[in-house]
């Protein structure tokens, strides 16, 4: 049985908590023994039935262990069977632990985008994103991983012309972005430069330890030609 998490607090409290974590405590990775900022790690807890389960939000009760937020680190934790030692009790990883962590991080990103939308700090749509870029610097530009290159290039080139460089997230699919906006799919979106955008950035950087960040290569070929 997996522990139940509490409902997330309202957006400002969530954003404040995540921002504090960015420069907050350090934790020791149960695999590498390296001490890292908590914002770069994921917490794993022991369920009542002796399973190691993810606690991405970091608010489940009980003893927890910390692992660097990468697929490789969690795979190593499973291979080296570190859970029993960390919890000082017989503990087995839940089936599909790595994928469950990725799924929780996706849901966290979607939830934070949804908070920004409800607070009036997010827009969606090609024309709306470009119009917002012309008014003020963004917190994050969001481009669907399965979106067309032509549209995202136009958005990115406008952002670069106006501000030089902006935060760009491309690991979420159009369906996942759509969930945040209550639509079947979204290709282009933007988060305003607000505390919730900072919280999204922390969650997104952890997510890219578990799935590819295509924005890192989208414009590589074009840059190499100049």
Q: What is the mean pLDDT of residues 37-49?
A: 94
Q: With DSSP H G I counted as helix, E B as strand and the rest as coil, what are the percentages for the chain, rounded to 5?
A: 45, 20, 35
- For residue 2, the model assigns a pLDDT of 45
Q: What would the pLDDT profile of 170-221 be if each residue is shown by its tens digit?
A: 999 999 999 999 999 999 999 999 899 999 999 999 999 999 999 999 976 5
The whole-model pTM stands at 0.85
Where do the domains of the chain lie?
11-97, 102-224
**In the predicted structure, residue 225 carries a pLDDT above the cut 90:** no
Q: How confident is the model at residue 223 (pLDDT cuts 50, 70, 90)?
A: very low
Beta bridge mates, 51: 92
**Beta bridge mates, 41:** 68
The correct CATH number of 102-224 out of 3.40.50.1980, 3.40.50.10380, 3.40.50.720, 3.30.1330.30 is 3.30.1330.30
Rounded-to-integer distance, Cα 98 and Cα 53, Å: 10
Give the integer Cα–Cα distance in Å for 110 and 77.
27
pLDDT, tens digit, for every residue of 99-141?
A: 999 999 999 999 999 999 999 999 999 999 999 999 999 999 9
**Alpha helices, DSSP H, located in 68-120:** 71-80, 83-87, 97-118
Q: Decide if domain 11-97 falls under CATH 3.40.1390.20.
A: no
């Amino acid at each position: 049985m997996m522990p139940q998490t509490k409902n997330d607090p309202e957006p400002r409290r969530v954003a404040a908590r995540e921002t504090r974590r960015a420069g907050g405590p350090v934790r020791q990775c149960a695999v590498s023994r390296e001490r890292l900022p908590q914002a770069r790690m994921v917490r794993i807890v022991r369920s009542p039935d002796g399973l190691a389960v993810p606690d991405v939000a970091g608010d489940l009760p009980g003893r927890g262990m910390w692992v660097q937020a990468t697929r490789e680190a969690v795979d190593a934790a499973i291979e080296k069977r570190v859970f029993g030692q960390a919890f000082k009790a017989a503990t087995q990883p839940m089936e599909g632990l790595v994928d469950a962590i990725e799924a929780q991080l996706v849901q966290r990103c979607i939830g934070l985008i949804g908070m920004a939308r409800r607070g009036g700090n997010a827009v969606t749509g090609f024309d709306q994103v470009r119009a917002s870029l012309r008014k003020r610097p963004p917190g994050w530009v969001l481009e669907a991983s399965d979106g067309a290159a032509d549209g995202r290039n136009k958005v990115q080139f406008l952002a670069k012309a106006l501000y030089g460089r902006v935060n760009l997230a491309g690991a979420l699919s159009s369906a996942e972005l759509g969930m945040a906006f209550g639509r079947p799919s979204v290709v282009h979106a933007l988060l305003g430069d607000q505390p919730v955008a900072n919280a999204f950035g922390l969650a997104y950087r952890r997510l890219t330890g578990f799935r590819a960040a295509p924005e890192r290569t989208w414009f590589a070929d074009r840059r190499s030609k100049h």
